[in-house]
Amino acid sequence: MATISPPSADTGIAAFRGTLPVETRDQPTADRLCAIGTAVHLAKGEQLTPDPRDDRLVYIASGCAKLVAPASLGAGAGLPIHQVLAFHFGGDLISVLRQSDGDFRLVALSDCELVIFPADRFLDLAQADPAVLRAVLTRSLQALHRSRTRMMQMGHKSAGARIADFLVSMAERLADCTAGACVFSLPMSRRDIGDSLGLTIETVSRQLTELREAGLVATEGRSKVCLCDVAALARIAGRPAAGTVKTHQI
Amino acid sequence: MATISPPSADTGIAAFRGTLPVETRDQPTADRLCAIGTAVHLAKGEQLTPDPRDDRLVYIASGCAKLVAPASLGAGAGLPIHQVLAFHFGGDLISVLRQSDGDFRLVALSDCELVIFPADRFLDLAQADPAVLRAVLTRSLQALHRSRTRMMQMGHKSAGARIADFLVSMAERLADCTAGACVFSLPMSRRDIGDSLGLTIETVSRQLTELREAGLVATEGRSKVCLCDVAALARIAGRPAAGTVKTHQI
DNA sequence: CGCAGTCTTGAGACAGATCAACTCACGTGG
DNA sequence: CCACGTGAGTTGATCTGTCTCAAGACTGCG
């Protein structure tokens, strides 16, 4: 699991440098930050076990992954009810807390290039360059906002609205599309979708069928979807129309 | 609404200064931060309308408040289905985004002393003192973690588990109690509880009755509750036992 | 080509929402 | 200080949406 990439795979670290604020990209601080990053390759299905003691920041250079919270519950039910907390794609910088703070894991949905930073050392270095620290803070506030918005939806929304919202949000992130029609491949299974939305696979499937019959989506094979009218889906999802925050996730 | 407090009410600002990292509390940066803060008094039921254009950081010196997302939905239903995103208490520092980023409002559940900062100016000043910036970042990452944990629960938990979780979490924050028995007053109505948990008031009421009949809680009047066995409630809530992160919310 | 696992579809069960009284706490004014 | 009224809270009956259990169909792999 999680093989350390050969030196040639420093493309991940280079990609990370590109996300730093322009004015600090060529400063010594940038070099020091890159120096403490570990490039890692994760094959599809592999997972990144959290460090038992230290928080981490993980930059996804390429590929996509899900952040899951295993089992958790309750009366030793036995079934590993993985809740999916978020999906992440290339360019995201995410914070994975140490294992003792709730055992969240990053699982690759496709082959991934990651860069892993120990959170405390990263922040120590970033303190030398407040612009970096501020950029990280801004991202985390945006992530919080996203998470709250999502939570709000989980609260009281029907299965249909959740699926529509999921599709719209994937259209934004995977196809950079907020209206009209678009086609893309969903990298995650029906189970993952259900687990992230608090629904069963059966309900996910039924809702997709309903949208298909309504002529709003078409599917091909297991993963390819075509959203015929993103705006209509956004309406079903009960979204506050346009003007979504640019979609960075930490 | 939201009367500016008289100069005598600078206790709010003094309280804010007390939450800064020890090493910077007496630095000039601390003075400058306090200088851009506006002390505000909110009477019970009043709300803080977000600034249309600028993000804000709000420090709650005393009192308690709820963060709500109005209406949002959908087919002009008319009913103002306020979703409660979070409850906040004295000592919390919370981020309220500008109105255009989703119209979240802070509503006082009791009389409140607040200090309001324009987020950008606050962060500009904080850049001069990275320790402050880092403290804010740490808080926001904790808030994100809390929000995700909550979201996970919203996902697939029964009404009973949600109510139990809510009570345990209030015991922690209002009575600083994580086991045994404790008594406190809930500052929010049944409707607020339901809106924060994605349940109706009827269901909230029924679940409380059930817990009462099980001998786990007792109630007196509208707001006073007595949790007879917090650990048992935590078990019903499906909590990962002990070791909760210290409860700061941003 | 055939197998294994994913996805779809159907029938029945159950939790929580909804609609509708009813009760009670708390603040008000006599 | 007590009677009263209003709105919060409780309780009951019914209804809907989603989960559960159980086949069946398809995709994609070896």
pLDDT tens for the 250 residues of chain B, in order: 555 555 555 788 999 998 888 888 888 888 999 999 999 999 988 888 888 888 899 999 999 999 988 765 433 334 556 788 889 999 888 888 787 667 788 999 999 999 999 988 998 888 888 888 888 888 888 788 878 777 766 667 899 999 999 999 999 989 999 889 999 999 999 999 999 988 999 999 999 999 999 999 999 999 999 999 999 999 998 876 544 444 434 4
CA angle, A170 then A175 then A180, to 5° = 90
pLDDT at res. B244? 44
CA of A47 to C1' of D16 (A): 40
Token pair of A4, please? 């350390």
Considering the domain B3-149 in this protein, what is its CATH number? 2.60.120.10
Token pair of A250, please? 């930490």
Rounded-to-integer distance, Cα A125 and Cα A129, Å: 7
Q: Looking at beta carbons, which residues of chain B come within 8 Å of A137?
A: 123, 133, 136-137, 140
Distance of residue A56 Cα from the nearest chain B Cα, in angstroms: 12
DSSP strands (E only) in B123-198: 182-185
Q: Do A156 and B198 touch (CB under 8 A)?
A: yes
Chosen CATH of A158-237 out of 3.10.180.10, 1.10.10.10, 1.20.20.10, 3.10.620.30: 1.10.10.10
- A218 in helix, strand or coil? strand
Is residue B103 packed enough to be buried (19+ CB in 10 Å), middle (13-18) or exposed (0-12)? Answer: middle
**Which residue type is seen at B119?**
A
Nearest to B83 among A85, A155, A240 (CB): A155
Could you give the C-alpha distances from B103 to A34, A102, B72, B96, in angstroms and in order? 38, 31, 9, 9
pLDDT at res. A139? 82
Q: Looking at beta carbons, which residues of chain B come within 8 Å of A97?
A: 141, 145
Nucleotide in closest CA–C1' contact with B212: D10
pLDDT along chain A (250 residues), means of 10: 57 89 87 92 88 88 89 46 85 82 85 92 85 84 78 78 94 90 94 92 96 93 93 87 45
CB pairs under 8 A between A and B: 118
- A74 in helix, strand or coil? coil
Instruction: Determine contact, residues A40/A3, Cβ cutoff 8 Å.
Output: yes
pLDDT at res. A110? 92
Rounded-to-integer distance, Cα B239 and Cα B250, Å: 22
How many CB atoms sit inside 10 A of residue B230's CB?
21
Nearest to A140 among B127, B131, B140 (CB): B140
Tell me which chain A residue has its CA closest to the CA of residue B128: A130
Q: Looking at beta carbons, which residues of chain A come within 8 Å of B152?
A: 69, 72, 83, 85
Q: Do B95 and A131 touch (CB under 8 A)?
A: no
Token pair of B120, please? 């950008």
DSSP strands (E only) in A111-244: 112-118, 182-185, 217-220, 224-227
> Which helix (DSSP H) or strand (DSSP E) does residue B95 occupy?
strand B93-96
pLDDT at res. B246? 42
Q: Do A144 and B143 touch (CB under 8 A)?
A: yes
Instruction: Determine contact, residues B173/B167, Cβ cutoff 8 Å.
Output: no
Each as own residue / partner, the long-range contacts of residues B73-76 (CB below 8 Å, 24 or more positions apart, any chain) are: B73/A238, B74/A161, B74/A235, B74/A238
Kindly report the bases of strand D lying within 7 A of a protein C-beta atom: 8-13, 17-22, 27-28
Q: Looking at beta carbons, which residues of chain B come within 8 Å of A147?
A: 144, 147-148, 151
pLDDT at res. A240? 66
Say what the pTM is: 0.81
Which single residue is written with the structure tokens 């892993």? A116
Kindly report the bases of strand C lying within 7 A of a protein C-beta atom: 6-11, 15-20, 25-26
Question: What residue segments make up the domains of chain B, in order of their start?
Answer: 3-149, 158-237
B120 CB closer than 7 A to any strand C atom: no
Rounded-to-integer distance, Cα A236 and Cα A124, Å: 45
pLDDT at res. A97? 79
Rounded-to-integer distance, Cα A170 and Cα B232, Å: 40
Q: Do A152 and B238 touch (CB under 8 A)?
A: no
